[in-house]
Amino acid sequence: MSALSPPYTTAIAGCLLAIAGLPGPATASDSTASDPHPTLKRLSPDAAVWIDLPGKRVVVGGRVALADGPIEFFACPSKTKEHESIVVVDAPARLVHTALLAIGLKPGSPASFEGEYRPATGDAVAIDVCWRDAEAEQCRPARQWVRNSRTGRELNCDWVFAGSQFWKDPSTGIEYYQADGGDLVCVSNFPTAMLDLPIASSQANEALLFDTYTERIPPQGTPVELIFSKASDKPSPGEKD
């Protein structure tokens, strides 16, 4: 295992692009009526990830996976950890990582539990969640869907771009991006998190710090889009017990 630290950002970006198999520049024939964002750069025809370079935003499509219960993740890739994540996205984590690099975000390192606990580091990332209800389009900070189970209050700190880790299978030599296993946007600390909270948050079932803010979340299965951007340079207040 090796953490994705800032000195390796350029090399990792190239590796991620190769792994992702990204297409070349879009042409007029690439656009289809079914693409909800034809003016943005779609990273893969098989994944719902778009880059808005002028706006420095990343758009990722998905749906509500869990609207009621304890959670370890805000968002995970499809067919991974939907049972403990509010949103499931139609994209692998490695593509979202690539898109965040493209808009200038810099990864740091995941939380460390060796010896003294060290929180995840990296550029602060704001996430908005957008969906359509019976009346109109809605868009809210993703933090408003996450509730501190001890205080009953919404999450009040941004995520950081921890960057996850690569793991090489010693028998094949193939490298795997570990956040593809589910750890896309975490609310419990994981050493494989792509985005994590910069605060201590246990992954033990009996000590989970967060659950769903159920009354604010649309029904399970509701299509949503996540909008990722660099958070304000003003520090977010830390989550307090």
pTM of the predicted protein model: 0.82
- The verdict on residue 144 lying in a domain is yes
Residue 5's pLDDT is what? 36
Contacts of 20 (CB under 8 A, 6+ apart): 43, 44, 92, 94, 95, 98
- The verdict on residue 219 lying in a domain is yes
pLDDT in tens, 41-89: 999 999 999 999 999 999 999 999 999 999 999 999 999 999 999 999 9
pLDDT in tens, 159-200: 999 999 888 888 888 888 999 999 999 999 999 999 999 998
Share of the chain above pLDDT 70, in %: 80
Residue 3's pLDDT is what? 40
For 66, the domain range is 2-21+39-230
- The verdict on residue 132 lying in a domain is yes
- The verdict on residue 138 lying in a domain is yes
Number of domains in the chain: 1
- The verdict on residue 240 lying in a domain is no
- The verdict on residue 27 lying in a domain is no
